[in-house]
Amino acid sequence: MTSVDLKGTLPADTIEVAQTNAYTPIVKYYPCWASDARQDIEARMDRQDKERLCGEVYSSLWSHYKGALFDQYTWHIWNELNTYAPFLNPKIKDGVCLDAGCGSGRAMAAMLAVGATRVEGLDISPVNVTVAADNLSAFGDRVGVRQGSVITMPYDDETFDVVHCYGVLHHTKDPYKGFQECCRVLKPGGTLLVANYCRGGLVNRVLDLGRFFTTRRIPPLSVMKRISRAIFGEDDRHYWYALLDGLYAPFRETYTEQEMRTWFEENHLDDVQRYYCKGFYYDWPPLFSGKDRGLIVLVGQKAAA
């Protein structure tokens, strides 16, 4: 397995800043999108509003991932990228890559560490764009970050050697359209990685039950955040973050592995492979995590021209 000293490639001030216990309140936008009943909001809000709101829920999370915490979180995804090697890493190396729904830019940092020539990031939240650009400022013109939706990407056809879209499409109003966009901007012969939540299992059922309340402002995000952080603290697996992500993001779709494989097939991506990340609920029995186990990470190749 390729070994890259990621710390060596990150800017010194990004690594050194010690703020592991810093705590930025999330809040402003917690379930305000459920001010009455969810159905009313569904009727009133158009896609753009909900996308913006989704970005704002996340931006309060990603604003937290700076300094030492960003470095630590980058390692988390770096470990996951390494589970895809040697399949993915050679494509990233010397390639032009896109992280669609880039959040804090942690996967962009990991791809730069693998040796990407240039990495673009796209996120619906303007705050996330600033956070990611700050986190990656030392990489200069090897990095570009833009605000926009994965459902209508601001890139030309066949631009990227690798498109990485991790934990994003299931939080959009039209995940399949987003998937088609990922394929459109991928060069022939390029590699697409998509990670979506799996369906079923007790974890999803409990989250659905929780969302019934969180979409009605019971309990507010600020309270849930305090409770989850009191239980889990600032742990390196980010349980509190995963919990709030599951409960408060406006859209949360789930899929079977077969459904996702069908997406790849319909869009002419071959050699589709499933990877299991080192996240916490992959090790749990299917009764808890669902038959398809946690996050479904599929990687496929776009047919060469």
Ligand X SMILES: C[S@@+](CC[C@H](N)C(=O)[O-])C[C@H]1O[C@@H](n2cnc3c(N)ncnc32)[C@H](O)[C@@H]1O
Q: Which residues of 175-195 are buried (b: 16+ CB within 10 A; e: fewer)?
A: bbebbebbbbbbbeebbbbbb
Among residues 95, 103, 201, 290, the one that binds ligand X under rule CB under 6 A: 103
Closest CB to ligand X among residues 88, 102: 102
Q: Which of 113, 99, 32 minimizes the C-alpha distance to 62?
A: 99
Which residue bears the tokens 């009605």? Answer: 216
106 binds ligand X (CB under 6 A): yes
Please count the other Cβ atoms lying within 10 Å of the Cβ belonging to residue 3. Answer: 7
Q: Which of 111, 106, 290, 93 minimizes the C-alpha distance to 199?
A: 290
Least Å from the CB of residue 181 to ligand X: 9
The first and second tokens of residue 33, run together, are: 């999108």
Chain positions 121 to 140 lying near ligand X, rule: CB under 6 A, are 122-125, 128
Closest CB to ligand X among residues 149, 285: 149
Chain positions 175 to 234 lying near ligand X, rule: CB under 6 A, are none
Q: Which of 182, 197, 184, 183 minimizes the C-alpha distance to 249?
A: 197
Q: Which of 82, 49, 274, 298 minimizes the C-alpha distance to 169?
A: 298
Q: Which residues of 92-119 are buried (b: 16+ CB within 10 A; e: fewer)?
A: bbebbbbbbbbbbbbbbbbbbbbebebb
89 binds ligand X (CB under 6 A): no
Contacts with ligand X: how many residues (CB under 6 A)? 25
Closest CB to ligand X among residues 166, 263: 166
Which residue bears the tokens 């990004």? Answer: 14
* φ, ψ dihedrals at 126, nearest 5°: -60, -30
Least Å from the CB of residue 108 to ligand X: 9
Closest CB to ligand X among residues 56, 292: 56
Least Å from the CB of residue 301 to ligand X: 21
Closest CB to ligand X among residues 245, 292: 245
64 binds ligand X (CB under 6 A): no
Least Å from the CB of residue 249 to ligand X: 7
Please count the other Cβ atoms lying within 10 Å of the Cβ belonging to residue 256. Answer: 16
What mask of x and - would describe binding to ligand X in positions 139 to 158, judged by CB under 6 A?
A: ----------xxx-------
Least Å from the CB of residue 210 to ligand X: 17
Chain positions 268 to 297 lying near ligand X, rule: CB under 6 A, are none
Closest CB to ligand X among residues 31, 101: 101
Distance (Å) of CA 290 to CA 195, 202, 211, 212, 278: 15, 7, 18, 20, 16
Least Å from the CB of residue 159 to ligand X: 16
Closest CB to ligand X among residues 144, 287: 144
Q: Contact positions toward ligand X, by CB under 6 A?
A: 51, 54-55, 58, 62, 77, 101-103, 106-107, 122-125, 128, 149-151, 166-168, 171-172, 245
